């Protein structure tokens, strides 16, 4: 997709054409899908007010056609916008609403994604719930091979490691993610960029480069499973 390559203008034109077509044929689900894509594109462009507007429209459509899955997805996207704006309490509330709804309908992808976003917030605010969130999300992602969410979780783990003074481990995990081809644009320009900036403030450039190069050789699934086992063991010992 054009959006994945950062070609925002081409992507926006494509989505606007799709939106006009969906409206012309009266396809509410199609309209909802395109509005979400436009909202995510605006989020990547860091145009958060525009993104919020698209997501609000999407939410209204989902409510009008009783689309619980679409509503859960949109609430998650709205939570991300609130997070990027620095409104953490609203972000937590929206992600928890998404998680509750996803659990009700058994939508595993949205459950994993909601948990992943809550992990990011938990890492920032030192929630005691973080290990349990990580455990459940990693379990779902590894079982269903949800690679983009696994990558997001590895970034969160790296951020938590850095906060705890495990700088070398954080740098290696950052290297794994940075070298991975399926890193979402939104993750790269927000959480990964923040992690790399923080690492650059505590490590000499040559050392950071060497550690990231070492991490780039790691296997993603093996690394994720290793962390899942470690977290599960820590929870069992509590």
Q: How far is it, in rounded angstroms, from Cα 220 to Cα 141?
A: 12
Task: Say if residue 33 is in the same domain as residue 78.
Answer: yes
Picking from 55, 89, 106, the residue at the C-terminal end of a domain is 106
How far is 203 from 171, CA to CA, in rounded Å? 9
Do both 79 and 30 map to the same domain? yes
Q: What is the pTM of this model?
A: 0.88
Q: What pLDDT does 124 receive?
A: 84
Q: Do residue 125 and residue 162 come from a single domain?
A: yes
pLDDT at 238: 72
What is the reported pLDDT for 199?
97
Q: Rounded to an integer, what distance in angstroms lies between the CA atom of residue 165 and that of residue 154?
A: 17
pLDDT of residue 2: 44
Crossing angle of helices 205-216 and 167-179, in 10° steps, is: 60
Q: How many CB atoms are closer than 10 A to CB 163?
A: 13
Query: Which class for 25: exposed (0-12), middle (13-18), buried (19 or more C-beta within 10 A)?
Result: exposed
Q: Name, in order, each residue with C-beta under 8 angstroms of 202's C-beta and a sequence gap of 6 or more.
A: 162, 167
How big, in percent rounded to 5, are the helix, strand and coil portions of the chain? Answer: 85, 0, 15
Segments forming the whole domain that contains residue 60: 1-106
Q: What is the pLDDT along the chain (238 residues), one digit of tens a residue?
A: 444 455 777 878 888 788 888 888 988 888 889 899 899 989 988 899 999 999 999 999 999 999 999 999 999 999 999 999 999 999 999 999 999 999 999 999 999 999 999 999 998 877 788 999 999 999 999 999 999 899 999 999 999 999 999 999 999 999 999 988 766 677 777 889 999 999 999 999 999 999 999 999 999 999 999 999 999 998 888 7
Please tell me whether residues 236 and 158 are part of one structural domain.
Answer: yes
CATH number of 41's domain: 1.25.40.10
Look at residue 184 in the predicted model and tell me its pLDDT: 66
Residues 226, 149 within the same domain: yes
């Amino acid at each position: 997709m054009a959006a994945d390559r950062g070609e925002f203008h081409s992507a926006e034109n494509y989505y606007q054409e799709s939106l006009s077509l969906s409206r012309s044929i009266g396809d509410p689900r199609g309209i909802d899908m395109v509005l979400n894509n436009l909202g995510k594109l605006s989020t990547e462009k860091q145009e958060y007010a525009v993104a919020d507007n698209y997501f609000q429209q999407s939410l209204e459509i989902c409510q009008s056609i009783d689309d619980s899955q679409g509503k859960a997805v949109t609430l998650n996207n709205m939570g991300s916008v609130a997070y990027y704006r620095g409104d953490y309490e609203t972000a937590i509330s929206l992600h928890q609403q998404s998680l509750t709804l996803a659990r009700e309908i058994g939508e595993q992808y949205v459950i994993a994604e909601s948990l992943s976003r809550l992990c990011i917030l938990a890492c920032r605010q030192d929630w005691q719930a973080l290990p349990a969130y990580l455990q459940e999300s990693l379990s779902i992602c590894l079982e269903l091979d949800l690679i983009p969410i696994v990558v997001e979780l590895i970034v969160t783990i790296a951020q938590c490691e850095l906060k705890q003074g495990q700088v070398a481990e954080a740098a290696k995990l950052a290297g794994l993610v940075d070298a991975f081809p399926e890193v979402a644009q939104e993750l790269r320009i927000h959480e990964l960029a923040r992690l790399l900036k923080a690492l650059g403030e505590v490590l000499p450039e040559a050392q950071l480069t060497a550690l990231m190069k070492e991490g780039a050789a790691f296997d993603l699934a093996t690394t994720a499973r290793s962390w899942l086992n470690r977290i599960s063991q820590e929870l069992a010992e509590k």
